[in-house]
Structure 1
């Protein structure tokens, strides 16, 4: 859960058109797609083998 300071900061960014949601894997049929580089991976992947991105 976000603290009051994080909530104010998220509201500030959202008001200016920035995304404030945590990034996670995108889905393409039966594969995962990295939100950073669009690399395609099996569903078991926990780290992008192309750019090294991991969900937080």
Structure 2
């Protein structure tokens, strides 16, 4: 029975082909959080983007 490839090997395979393998996080702009998808600015207590619905944990 063959074993599944490790996550590191799979991540490297995707990265070699131009795919993002690291989880996205909020960007920072001045003293606000900035959505990496749409660029909307939010207060530091924001959990999801109220403009596009982006969620860093989804």
- TM-score band w.r.t. shorter chain: 0.7 to 0.9
Structure 1 match to 2:45? 44
Q: Name the one with the larger helix percent.
A: 1
- The structure with the larger Rg is 2
Between Structure 1 and Structure 2, how many residues are aligned? 53
Structure 1 unaligned spans of 5+? none
**What's the TM-score once normalised by structure 1's chain length?**
0.82
Unaligned runs of 5+ in 2: none
- Which consecutive aligned stretches of 4+ in structure 1 deviate over 2 angstroms post-superposition? none
SS in 2 for 1:32: strand
- Please report the RMSD computed on the Cα atoms of aligned residues, expressed in angstroms: 1.5
